[in-house]
Amino acid sequence: MPTAAPTPKAVLHQRFGAKARYSVEEVREAVGGCPGLAPQTRSVYRCALELPGLSVATPGTFVRKKDAEQAAAQIALDKLGIQPTANIPSTPEEAWGELIARISGFFIDENFLSSTHPLVGHLSVTLRRTGDLIGRIPLSAIAACDVKVNTLCKMIDPRAEFDPLLVLSLMYNAAKQSPGVSVSDSSFWIQSQRPYSPEAVDLAFKRWFGTSNPIEVEAILVPHVLEDEPKIVRINLRDNEHYMTYVAEKLTASDSSHVLVSRTIGKTSSEIRLYFAAPNVQFVSDISKNELACLGDGDINCQVNKRASYISGQTIYGDALLANIGYTRRDSELHIEDVNLCTYYRILLGKFPDGNCKISRDAILAAELPSVYSRFSWKGLSPRDLLCSFCRNQRLSEPIFAVSRVSCDMLTSTASSEERGAPAKSVENQCTNDVKTDKENPDSLKCEVKICSRKQEILLEYSAADTWSKESDAIQNSALKVLIWFNNYFKQLNTKTDKLYLPECPDGFKIHPNVFLQEFAMCLSVYGNAGCSDLEMCTAVGLISMDTPKKHLESTTSLTHIKGPDSGVFPSHGSLTCICYTASLVTKDKVKRYMLESHAEFEFEIGTGAVGNQLESCVTQLSVNQAACFVAELPPRDLILAAASEFSHDLSNVSRESYFLEFSVKVLQVTEPLEDRMEKALFSPPLSKQRVEFAVQHINELHATTLVDFGCGSGSLLDSLLEHPTTLEKLVGVDISRKGLTRAAKSLHQKLSKKLLVQTTVPTAVLYDGSITDYDSRLYGFDIGTCLEVIEHMEEDQASLFGNIVLSSFRPSVLIVSTPNYEYNPILQRSAMPNKDEEADENAGPCKFRNHDHKFEWTRAQFQCWATDLAVKHNYSVEFCGVGGSGEEPGYASQIAVFRRMTRNLEPICQNEDQDQPYELLWEWPNASIPA
């Protein structure tokens, strides 16, 4: 077990205190390297340190401020010749000696009473007593407020980290040997052998106030019987008595010396801890034989409080009290805060992989862990921070991110930077330099993630196949993948505890089941139905895929009371949407209503899974300024109580059958996807218009009368074509998105109706719901087929499948296919973020592709290769062109292939209604009614 050495700053602080003055300077440093892209910069730091008689500065720069400071402190230590490890015991025996001395130190040195050490808070309460009880405190009060004692215990026996009972046993036995203190034989009291001088006591009283007025504080009793629900208890503090006395009463411990205390839970600054009564054990000590044991009455394991142990990551016995009480260096009186059921359920939620994502957005019922990361639209804590806090809350080691450069042949990786919290800067800089010179392959960084137990045993490894041009993108994306993996795993805890997966998982995950199950055993035993404490059962495994394939879930939530007219501005896939919502629990008889969650402005990106399915479905059925209500599926009880804040107590007893959850939502604002905004802002006319013009030109050249738009979306092309004079007589659109098609139907209907008022004939129009990778004979042999900005939304094999089907079966005379030119992206990105320098690097910048729904974006060479192969295979010619920009390096913004069928005449096919007509007719002009 490596012991954590104090940081260089900590060592200097011990020596110099506030006389060590650090000044950190921010420097901008050039990074990046996409071809044609103006140099970007990022912030790095260097640090100067002033000590009495010595000043030093870091020669290099660091990505994090704190690393720069530590480096400066280390230089100073080297110059001063200070060995940071000098006073640190290195063996369990030395630690034992140190523990004995430290416990003594609290009692024999009167000056201690004038310090700000929180233990003095405990002492000064008991110094207000009279008689024998003066200055007598429970041993666990020391463990609760002295970090060093805990560290020493851990060095003596590493298991102490997880076991407050063992800490008590070690302290008890050490205290017996500590000079100047007396320890009780039958209980765990400790006090000074000599009376304190009145002056010393006076000093303590001056700083530490007593609690003469009664104060009530709420705490949560966590029963050790899993079937019993946690409930509120009220602790009354009064009469200047030590608070642990009252805690003991609630726990039916014989006295406060038998109360044990866990580590702090949640934020490190909080005083939330679990208190529990010491099980009936006898401590045996024989340090010479290195044997320190708790002799229980045989069966103390059956009293393990699983929930409390899971929450604290320590072994807790019997009923436990979750309370926020304690002395701190910050306050001069007892710090007390209510802990209610909501706090308890939020602590539980925080242990889930998606919990902190919900909590950090303050949207427990609405927010979900998004399935994709983009710097542009990510809200709340970053994936990397979420993964770190998940590991911390699960009492695992900090995740290790290893970024490496993938060399051009993609086979070997060179530079590697291992990062655990703080990155190894030198290597990181090297990475960046590599990218700068690597013009051939801008996406060359990948990031592997390792999750280890506290004992540094690997339990999960993730090796990414994706590469990124920015180190932070590589880290964030990999962190998100790991979080999603854990999230899927946690979702199955309730249902399938007996099923785990084989060590080799797909998608770059490798699990080490033994360590994994050991680390999550407590979690499984709390959440698994079967109470999977039996590891044998867990390892009897079958493979379950952790990654349920992402379906295009177009579920439709039924809305009630849609208010306001359709403004025509609607949230679509990829748009950043701002809503206002409330989520209320309503009793079935509608008499009572509890508002659980509300936001006046809540922003998320459609299509990323950042909110629940139902909420997203609701939002996409509305346009800006419209509002609606819907009844949502009732979330799990724990989640409701975590959201319920002040109602958590009321709601804890209500049966699920008697209420429902209602969302009321209004769409406030829609920001189009970055891709669309860039296309509009940076090109005149906008790129989509230019694509229409391009199509019109070909229609006219060809005197085309029939046109099919593959992947028509909400019909923008068909719509615009009606505004141009063309030879077209029949327009058809196909798409798989019902929502898109419905919008297309509405706008085409309007446009055609208007046209009929001024013209005698208008073209016919048809919309089909279907996949363009399926052949439908009704669309055979059209004059012109268009497929604009669609293929990149399909997987590459599907794009090829479409290419083959359209040229071999649909066989239009001319086919126009457009798709983004990847090589043009740096220009877009630079133009979209002109002020990038002023913004922190982490907060700005688009995602890797123009739109996160894109499965790929091709270079000119890739696109031309795809198109040429298809053309040759199916007897078409192909020409390349594009819109947006001049076409010179690096090509057009949107690249276009125009295929021409080489055979003039087509054999007619016989249309058989039953065959080859998989598409569903959704809308037709004339004779149409608009689909709902």
Shortest separation between residue 817's beta carbon and ligand SAH, angstroms: 11
Stretch that binds Mg ion, among 84-92, 321-329, 755-763, 785-793 (CB under 5 A): 785-793
Shortest separation between residue 716's beta carbon and Mg ion, angstroms: 12
Which residue, 707 or 734, is less far from ligand SAH as judged by CB?
Answer: 734
Which residue, 331 or 554, is less far from ligand SAH as judged by CB?
Answer: 554
Choose the one of ligand SAH, Mg ion, none that binds residue 632, judging by a C-beta under 5 to 8 angstroms depending on kind. none
CA distances, 149 to each of 86, 275, 281, 291 (Å):
18, 18, 22, 19
Shortest separation between residue 741's beta carbon and Mg ion, angstroms: 17
Which residue, 158 or 686, is less far from ligand SAH as judged by CB?
Answer: 686
Q: In the beta sheet, which residues pair with residue 422?
A: 420
Closest CA to 615 of 653, 568, 582: 582
- Distance between CA 602 and CA 580 in Å, rounded? 6
CA distances, 427 to each of 62, 306, 419, 435, 788 (Å):
11, 43, 10, 12, 43
Choose the one of Mg ion, ligand SAH, none that binds residue 740, judging by a C-beta under 5 to 8 angstroms depending on kind. ligand SAH
Choose the one of Mg ion, ligand SAH, none that binds residue 737, judging by a C-beta under 5 to 8 angstroms depending on kind. ligand SAH
Choose the one of Mg ion, ligand SAH, none that binds residue 643, judging by a C-beta under 5 to 8 angstroms depending on kind. none
CA distances, 745 to each of 307, 712, 748, 765, 930 (Å):
55, 11, 5, 9, 6
Which residue, 251 or 748, is less far from ligand SAH as judged by CB?
Answer: 748
Shortest separation between residue 715's beta carbon and ligand SAH, angstroms: 8
Choose the one of Mg ion, ligand SAH, none that binds residue 735, judging by a C-beta under 5 to 8 angstroms depending on kind. ligand SAH
Would you count residue 789 as binding Mg ion (CB under 5 A)?
yes
Shortest separation between residue 673's beta carbon and Mg ion, angstroms: 8
Shortest separation between residue 734's beta carbon and ligand SAH, angstroms: 6
DSSP-derived 3-state class of residue 698: helix
Which residue, 719 or 789, is less far from Mg ion as judged by CB?
Answer: 789
Shortest separation between residue 801's beta carbon and ligand SAH, angstroms: 9
Shortest separation between residue 920's beta carbon and Mg ion, angstroms: 24
Which residue, 711 or 885, is less far from ligand SAH as judged by CB?
Answer: 711
* 192: its two tokens: 């000074």
What's the angle, vertex CA 480, arms to CA 511 and CA 263, rounded to 5? 75
Size of the site for Mg ion (CB under 5 A): 1
Which residue, 272 or 717, is less far from Mg ion as judged by CB?
Answer: 717
Task: Find where tokens 């060592």 sit.
Answer: 11
Choose the one of Mg ion, ligand SAH, none that binds residue 794, judging by a C-beta under 5 to 8 angstroms depending on kind. ligand SAH
354-358 contacts: CB < 8 A, separation 24 or more?
Answer: 354/483, 354/487, 354/490, 355/390, 355/393, 356/381, 356/386, 356/389, 356/390, 356/393, 357/381, 357/386
Which residue, 307 or 852, is less far from Mg ion as judged by CB?
Answer: 852
- Distance between CA 89 and CA 155 in Å, rounded? 9
Stretch that binds Mg ion, among 523-531, 608-616, 636-644, 782-790 (CB under 5 A): 782-790
- Distance between CA 485 and CA 431 in Å, rounded? 27
CA distances, 316 to each of 17, 473, 638 (Å):
38, 41, 21
Task: Find where tokens 């079935």 sit.
Answer: 588
Which residue, 461 or 789, is less far from Mg ion as judged by CB?
Answer: 789
Stretch that binds Mg ion, among 18-26, 138-146, 787-795, 923-931 (CB under 5 A): 787-795
Question: 137 with 189: CB under 8 angstroms?
Answer: yes
Which positions ≥6 away from 282 have C-beta within 8 Å?
A: 294, 295
Closest residue by beta carbon to Mg ion: 789
Question: 606 with 620: CB under 8 angstroms?
Answer: yes
Shortest separation between residue 849's beta carbon and Mg ion, angstroms: 9
Shortest separation between residue 691's beta carbon and Mg ion, angstroms: 11
Peptide bond into 503 cis (omega under 30): no
Q: What is the residue-wise DSSP string for 470-514?
A: SHHHHHHHHHHHHHHHHHHHHHHHTT-TT----SB-STTEEE-HH
Burial (Cβ within 10 Å: 0-12, 13-18, ≥19) of residue 187? middle
Which residue, 360 or 371, is less far from ligand SAH as judged by CB?
Answer: 371
B/e letters for 788-812, b = 16+ CB within 10 Å, e = fewer, are: bbbbbbbeeeebbbbbebbbebbbb
Which residue, 639 or 784, is less far from ligand SAH as judged by CB?
Answer: 784
Shortest separation between residue 854's beta carbon and ligand SAH, angstroms: 10
Site track 542-561 with Mg ion (rule: CB under 5 A), x = hit: --------------------
Task: Find where tokens 């800006």 sit.
Answer: 624
Q: What is the residue-wise DSSP string for 158-209?
A: GGGGG-HHHHHHHHHHHHHH-TTEEE-SSS-EEEESSPPPHHHHHHHHHHS-
Shortest separation between residue 782's beta carbon and ligand SAH, angstroms: 16
Choose the one of ligand SAH, Mg ion, none that binds residue 772, judging by a C-beta under 5 to 8 angstroms depending on kind. ligand SAH
Main-chain dihedrals φ then ψ at residue 384, nearest 5 degrees = -65, -45
Choose the one of Mg ion, ligand SAH, none that binds residue 319, judging by a C-beta under 5 to 8 angstroms depending on kind. none
Stretch that binds Mg ion, among 54-62, 77-85, 396-404, 781-789 (CB under 5 A): 781-789
Shortest separation between residue 609's beta carbon and Mg ion, angstroms: 19
Which residue, 60 or 568, is less far from ligand SAH as judged by CB?
Answer: 568
Choose the one of Mg ion, ligand SAH, none that binds residue 771, judging by a C-beta under 5 to 8 angstroms depending on kind. ligand SAH
Peptide bond into 164 cis (omega under 30): no
Choose the one of ligand SAH, Mg ion, none that binds residue 98, judging by a C-beta under 5 to 8 angstroms depending on kind. none
Shortest separation between residue 411's beta carbon and ligand SAH, angstroms: 33
- Distance between CA 306 and CA 35 in Å, rounded? 56
The angle that helices 825-832 and 674-682 make with each other, rounded to 10 degrees, is 80
DSSP-derived 3-state class of residue 284: strand
Which residue, 512 or 793, is less far from ligand SAH as judged by CB?
Answer: 793
DSSP-derived 3-state class of residue 747: helix
Question: 816 with 786: CB under 8 angstroms?
Answer: yes
Which residue, 338 or 774, is less far from ligand SAH as judged by CB?
Answer: 774
First to last CA, the chain: 66
Site residues (vs ligand SAH, CB under 6 A): 711-713, 716-717, 734-737, 740, 771-773, 788-790, 793-794
Shortest separation between residue 680's beta carbon and ligand SAH, angstroms: 13
Stretch that binds Mg ion, among 362-370, 693-701, 788-796, 901-909 (CB under 5 A): 788-796
Which residue, 89 or 740, is less far from ligand SAH as judged by CB?
Answer: 740
Would you count residue 679 as binding Mg ion (CB under 5 A)?
no
What would the 3-class secondary structure string for 50-75 be? EECCEEEECCCCECCHHHHHHHHHHH
Question: 507 with 484: CB under 8 angstroms?
Answer: no
Stretch that binds Mg ion, among 450-458, 582-590, 617-625, 786-794 (CB under 5 A): 786-794
Which residue, 687 or 745, is less far from Mg ion as judged by CB?
Answer: 687
**Amino acid letter for position 263:** R
Would you count residue 735 as binding Mg ion (CB under 5 A)?
no
Shortest separation between residue 853's beta carbon and Mg ion, angstroms: 7
* 561: its two tokens: 């009371």
Closest residue by beta carbon to ligand SAH: 713
Which residue, 246 or 824, is less far from Mg ion as judged by CB?
Answer: 824
Shortest separation between residue 794's beta carbon and ligand SAH, angstroms: 5
Choose the one of Mg ion, ligand SAH, none that binds residue 736, judging by a C-beta under 5 to 8 angstroms depending on kind. ligand SAH
> Which residues contribute to the site for Mg ion (CB under 5 A)?
789
